[in-house]
C-alpha cells in the first residue's frame, strides 16, 4: 500500500482558519466534484459492484439507499471513515485524497496540510481545469475558486 506523507503547514501560516475536519473535507470534495449525496452513493455502488454479479433492481435500490445513508453519516460533524478500502473507493469516483483525510483525522491541527476552504483541494490533489493546475491565492483559497467567484460576481453585476 502506498502511503503519502504530506508536509505540514505551520499553524502561523493560517492562524484564523479553524481546523478542517475529515467530514468537512469529504463534503467539500464531494461538492467540488458536482455530486449530491445521492449521486455519490450511486457512483460508489456502481464502482463497488464492478466485476461482481449484478443484484436485481430491488436489491440495487436497497444498496443505493444504504450507501446514501452511509455517505450522509460520513459527512456529519465528528464522523470518521475507519475502513481504508472505503477511502479508496471514494477516491476512485471523485477527486479525493485518502492521505489528506487520514492526516486530518490523525494529526494535530498545526500539522494539517493547507486545504482550500471552498473546494477542499490541497497540494496533493489540486484542481485541474483546462489543463491548468490551481495555485494558492491566499491561506484558505486556491486560484480556481477565486477565479470562479470573480466570474460569478461579474455575471451578477
What stretch of H or E contains 136?
strand 136-138
Three-state DSSP at 21 gives coil
Q: Identify the CATH number of the domain in which residue 53 sits.
A: 1.10.260
User: Residue 30 has what pLDDT?
Assistant: 97
The reply to whether 10 falls in a domain is no
The reply to whether 101 falls in a domain is yes
Q: Is 7 exposed, middle or buried (0-12, 13-18, 19+ CB in 10 A)?
A: exposed
C-alpha cell at position 15: 492562524
Residues 6+ apart with CB under 8 A from 18: none
Domain extent for 95: 18-113
The reply to whether 49 falls in a domain is yes
Residues 6+ apart with CB under 8 A from 3: 99
Alpha-carbon 73 to chain mean position: 15
The reply to whether 7 falls in a domain is no
Q: What is d(CA 83, CA 81) in angstroms, rounded to the nearest whole number?
A: 6
The reply to whether 119 falls in a domain is no
The tens digit of pLDDT for each residue in 1-36 reads 334 444 444 444 445 568 899 999 999 999 999 999
Three-state DSSP at 60 gives helix
The reply to whether 42 falls in a domain is yes
User: Residue 49 has what pLDDT?
Assistant: 84
Q: How many domains does the chain have?
A: 1
Three-state DSSP at 150 gives helix
Q: What is the mean predicted confidence (pLDDT) over 78-101?
A: 96
Q: What is the pTM of this model?
A: 0.82
The reply to whether 41 falls in a domain is yes
Q: Supply the mean pLDDT for the chain.
A: 87
User: Residue 43 has what pLDDT?
Assistant: 95
Amino acid at each position: 500500500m502506498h502511503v503519502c506523507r504530506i508536509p505540514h503547514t505551520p499553524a502561523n501560516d493560517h492562524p484564523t482558519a479553524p481546523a478542517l475536519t475529515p467530514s468537512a473535507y469529504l463534503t467539500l470534495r464531494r461538492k467540488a466534484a458536482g455530486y449530491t449525496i445521492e449521486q455519490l452513493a450511486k457512483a460508489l455502488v456502481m464502482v463497488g459492484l464492478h466485476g461482481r454479479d449484478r443484484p436485481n433492481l430491488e436489491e440495487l435500490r436497497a444498496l443505493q439507499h444504504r450507501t446514501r445513508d452511509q455517505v450522509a453519516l460520513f459527512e456529519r460533524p465528528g464522523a470518521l471513515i475507519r475502513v481504508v478500502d472505503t477511502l479508496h473507493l471514494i477516491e476512485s469516483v471523485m477527486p479525493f485524497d485518502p492521505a489528506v483525510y487520514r492526516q486530518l483525522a490523525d494529526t494535530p491541527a498545526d500539522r494539517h496540510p493547507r486545504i482550500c476552504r471552498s473546494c477542499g483541494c490541497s497540494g496533493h490533489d489540486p484542481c485541474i481545469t483546462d489543463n491548468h493546475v490551481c495555485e494558492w491565492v491566499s491561506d484558505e483559497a486556491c486560484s480556481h475558486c477565486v477565479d470562479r467567484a470573480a466570474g460569478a460576481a461579474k455575471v451578477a453585476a
